[in-house]
Amino acid sequence: MPTRSLVPVNTPTLDRKPAIRRDASIRPTQETYDALQIAFDYFNDRLFNDGLPNCVITLKRHGRSHGFFSGSRFTRRDGQECDEIALNSVSFQDRSIAETLSTLVHEMVHLWQHHHGQPGRGGYHNRQWANRMKQLGLHPSDTGQVGGKETGDRMSHYIVDDGLFAKAMIVLDRRGFAIPWAEIPAAQQNGGSRELSVDGPPKSGERVKYVCPECELAAWAKHDAAIACVEHNAQMLPE
Residue among 231, 235, 232 at smallest CA distance from 221: 235
Residue 199: the pLDDT is 41
Query: Tens digits of per-residue pLDDT, 153-203?
Result: 999 999 999 999 999 999 999 999 999 998 887 777 765 444 433 344 455
pLDDT confidence of 212, banded at 50, 70, 90?
A: confident
Query: Tens digits of per-residue pLDDT, 26-81?
Result: 999 999 999 999 999 999 999 999 999 999 999 988 777 899 999 999 999 999 99
pLDDT confidence of 214, banded at 50, 70, 90?
A: low
Q: Look at residue 108 and tell me whether its pLDDT is greater than 70.
A: yes
pLDDT confidence of 235, banded at 50, 70, 90?
A: low
